[in-house]
Chain A
Amino acid sequence: DQQVKQNSPSLSVQEGRISILNCDYTNSMFDYFLWYKKYPAEGPTFLISISSIKDKNEDGRFTVFLNKSAKHLSLHIVPSQPGDSAVYFCAAEISGTYKYIFGTGTRLKVLA
Chain B
Amino acid sequence: DTEVTQTPKHLVMGMTNKKSLKCEQHMGHRAMYWYKQKAKKPPELMFVYSYEKLSINESVPSRFSPECPNSSLLNLHLHALQPEDSALYLCASSQGARRYTFGSGTRLTVV
Give me the interface of A with B, judged by CB distance under 8 Å: 4, 32, 34, 36, 41-46, 49, 89, 93, 95-105
Q: How far is the CA of A79 from the CA of B6 in the complex (A)?
A: 33
Which of A34, A46, A104 has most chain B Cβ within 10 Å?
Answer: A46
Q: Give the Cβ gap from B92 to chain A, nearest Cβ, in Å.
A: 8
Closest to B3 in A: A43
**Choice from A44, A93, A98 contacting B50 with Cβ under 8 Å:** A98
**Choice from A46, A97, A104 contacting B99 with Cβ under 8 Å:** A46
Q: How far is the CA of A45 from the CA of B105 in the complex (A)?
A: 12
Mark each residue of chain B from 69 to 111: 1 if its CB lies under 8 Å from any CB of chain A, else 0.
0000000000000000000001010100111111111000000
Main secondary structure on B side of the interface with A: strand
Q: Give the Cβ gap from B87 to chain A, nearest Cβ, in Å.
A: 14
Q: Give the Cβ gap from A74 to chain B, nearest Cβ, in Å.
A: 18
**In the complex, chain A residues whose CB is within 8 Å of the CB of B44:** 102
Q: How far is the CA of A45 from the CA of B90 in the complex (A)?
A: 12
Q: Does B13 contact A (CB under 8 A)?
A: no
